Amino acid sequence: MSMIERVVSGPGVRLLAKLLPEQKGHSYGLTILTPIRPGPAQGTGTEGATRAAASGNGGLARRDVTHAGVLRAKLRALKNGPESPFARLPGTHLARWVVLDDVPFEAFPAAEDHLRSRYLLFTSNFDGELDPYLDAMWEKLNPEITSLYGHCQGFDETVNDADSFRSYMKECKIFTTFFFPATPHLTRDRILRALQTQRRVARFIVEHQGTTDAAGLQADFHQLVSEIREAETPAPGTP
């Protein structure tokens, strides 16, 4: 058993799960490691494939024709901020996809360790339970999911609907150690609204502080409260 497997499975994890659960308050700390398909990606870079064959050792001369390479290029093209795909995913505080090549080399030979595959890492801090979140992912992020996970092992063969996607992702889920949410008691939308409220109240105070017109102040304050109540929740990713 490799060091990594010892860390992510076994009795140690069960103990950790008790001490540091993946769920705190509203927050869920999700980690999914999906093995990326080895070899060249279909239909890309015949040049690279030719050079790979010419090199004679099964290796590839050009990174960008592997599934991992294509994945990286696709991830680079994703937008951040309000245009991030994760902004379409309800309840997402922080999320990212990363291509994991291997673990860092530490020392030879005692601590040398390798991953058995490259992985697509997906981490997310979100509100609520896992199943509905994965269902929302399938529904709201379908173009990205099929495009990205098509480079992962077993995806094209097994996933064709929300149910099969849910089981696929759960199969690849590992336990999130040391999950520390800064605001476990607040949902994303409450935080977005709270920031909006803070901005509006600060502006209100600046405009009214020092006034002696109590009736006017009260009227304006009621107006502010109803405005805040009726205001739409700001879009995720906005400052």
Partner 1 sequence: MSPVTKNILAALDLDLEDVQTIVLRPGGYPSARYTFLHISDPERGRACLKELVSHVTDATLTPDGERPDLALNVGFTWKGLEALGVPWRSLASFPPEFTQGMRARADYLYDVGESAPEKWDRVWQPDGDQVHAWVGVFSKKVGGFEEQVETELAKLREIIDGYAIKILHQDKVGMLQVNGKPSHLEHFGYRDGISGEYIAGAGEPDPDVAGGARTPEGGWRPLAPGEAVLGHPNEDGELGHLPFPMGLARNGSFLVYRKLEQKVYTFRKWLEEEGARYPGGRERLAAKLVGRWRNGAPLVSFPDAPPADQEVDRLGREKMTGFTYGGDLDGARCPHGSHTRRANPRDSLGFDGTLVNRHRILRRGLPYGDWIPEGEETPDHDEGHGIVFMVINTSIERQFEFVQREWVNYGNDFRQGNDPDPLIGHHPAGPDGAGTQMVIPGDPLPRSENGKSEAEEPGRPGHVPWICARLPEFVVTKGGDYFFVPSITALHLIAEGKLETS
| Residues lying near partner 1 in the complex (CB under 8 A) | 198-199, 202-203, 205-206, 209-210
- Give the residue with the Cβ less far from partner 1, 98 or 202: 202
Q: How far apart are CB 186 and partner 1 at their closest, in Å?
A: 15
- Give the residue with the Cβ less far from partner 1, 54 or 206: 206
Q: How far apart are CB 109 and partner 1 at their closest, in Å?
A: 30
- Give the residue with the Cβ less far from partner 1, 143 or 210: 210
Q: How far apart are CB 205 and partner 1 at their closest, in Å?
A: 5
Q: How far apart are CB 210 and partner 1 at their closest, in Å?
A: 5
- Give the residue with the Cβ less far from partner 1, 3 or 205: 205
- Give the residue with the Cβ less far from partner 1, 23 or 196: 196
Q: Which DSSP string do the residues of the chain spell out, in sequence order?
A: --HHHHHHSSHHHHHHHHHS-SEETTEEEEEEEEEBPPSBPTTS-HHHHHHHHHHSSS--S-GGGBHHHHHHHHHHHS--GGGSGGGGSTTEEEEEEEEE--PPP--SSTT----SS-EEEEEEEEES-HHHHHHHHHHHSHHHHHHHHTTBTTHHHH--SHHHHHHHHHHHEE--TT---S-TTS-HHHHHHHHHHHHHHHHHHHHHTT---HHHHHHHHHHHHHHHHHSPPPPTT--
Q: How far apart are CB 20 and partner 1 at their closest, in Å?
A: 21
